[in-house]
């Protein structure tokens, strides 16, 4: 395991459908983050896990969004009843708590297109 992996890399769905993305962090990392990035912008924070506990959620994360990290390893991000405004790149990052400066390492992202 050399880095953060995300699946799928691309997802095209119709408005109103549910989608689920998966993130596998670097194996020894106990912190996991989800960010969303729209074209021409920097990533925006969505939510954060330390081990299996979800410790913070952004106001950007509406009730249609839910994230889990059931065993403190991989994480899933589900979007229910997708809207066209959900189209974006969803990025996952991981870091090691106590490593000092919270350097985060990102996966390749999942590009979501809602038609």
Partner 1 sequence: TQLLEQSPQFLSIQEGENLTVYCNSSSVFSSLQWYRQEPGEGPVLLVTVVTGGEVKKLKRLTFQFGDARKDSSLHITAAQPGDTGLYLCAGYAGGTSYGKLTFGQGTILTVHP
Contact call for residue 40 and partner 1 (CB under 8 A): yes
Eight-class DSSP state of 42: -
**Identity of the residue, 12 or 18, whose beta carbon is nearer to partner 1 in the bound complex:** 12
**Identity of the residue, 3 or 16, whose beta carbon is nearer to partner 1 in the bound complex:** 3
Contact call for residue 74 and partner 1 (CB under 8 A): no
Which range in 14-22, 60-68, 78-86, 101-109 contacts partner 1 by CB under 8 A?
101-109
Residue 100: Cβ-neighbour burial (10 angstroms; 0-12, 13-18, 19+)? exposed
The correct pick among 19, 21, 25, 31 for binding partner 1 (CB under 8 A) is: 31
Beta bridge partners of 91: 35
- What is the nearest approach in angstroms of partner 1 to the Cβ of residue 103? 5
Contact call for residue 42 and partner 1 (CB under 8 A): yes
- What is the nearest approach in angstroms of partner 1 to the Cβ of residue 95? 6
**Identity of the residue, 12 or 97, whose beta carbon is nearer to partner 1 in the bound complex:** 97
Residue partners of 18: CB distance under 8 A and separation at least 6: 78, 79, 80, 81, 82
Structural contact between residues 92 and 23, judged by C-beta atoms closer than 8 angstroms: yes
Q: Rg of the chain over CA atoms, in angstroms?
A: 13
């Amino acid at each position: 395991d050399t880095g953060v992996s995300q699946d799928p890399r691309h997802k095209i769905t119709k408005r109103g459908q549910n989608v689920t993305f998966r993130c596998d962090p670097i194996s020894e990392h106990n912190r996991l983050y989800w960010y969303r990035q729209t074209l021409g912008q920097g990533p925006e924070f969505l939510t954060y896990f330390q081990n299996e506990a979800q410790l913070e959620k952004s106001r950007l994360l509406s009730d249609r969004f839910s994230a889990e990290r059931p065993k403190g390893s991989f994480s899933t991000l589900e979007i229910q009843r997708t809207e066209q405004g959900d189209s974006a790149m969803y990025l996952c990052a991981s870091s090691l708590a106590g490593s000092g400066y919270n350097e985060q390492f990102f996966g390749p992202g999942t590009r979501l297109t809602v038609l």
